[in-house]
Structure 1
């Protein structure tokens, strides 16, 4: 599943693939925002991503497969 995180006052977004489901990612984001704690997510290679909840701009939880473009789709 593709996850995009926008950070306040930063032009680039953080994009990574996660093996967690959409509900698990949404629950982790909600919990970190409620507590004001650090959002901790793990990508599909086992690396951890830590983002302070106070600087989160947005979190977009996408689909696991990319849509095809062109006539061969």
Structure 2
């Protein structure tokens, strides 16, 4: 699923494809905003971890689950 993260004082948003469910992403964002966690931590499809300081979060947009891709592109 596609996740877009807006960061305060940054000209661009962070966009990543994550294998996490919408509920997992939402609970991670809620924990960061409530003060239970100092960082928003998400993992993308390639296994890379994205860390954003909770006090710098502007918004988080959670997209729909990605469907199977069709085509001849490399994985």
Q: TM-score, normalised by structure 1?
A: 0.84
Give the corresponding residue for 1:22: 22
Q: Distance in 2 between matches of 1:58 and 1:15?
A: 12
- Residues 1:4 and 2:13 are matched in the alignment: no
Which stretches of structure 1, 4 residues or more, deviate above 3 A after TM superposition?
none
Could you tell me which runs of 5 or more consecutive residues in structure 2 were left unpaired when the two chains were aligned. 68-75
CA RMSD of aligned residues (A): 1.4
Q: Distance in 2 between matches of 1:21 and 1:64?
A: 8
Give the corresponding residue for 1:34: 34
Q: TM-score, normalised by structure 2?
A: 0.82
Q: Distance in 2 between matches of 1:10 and 1:58?
A: 12
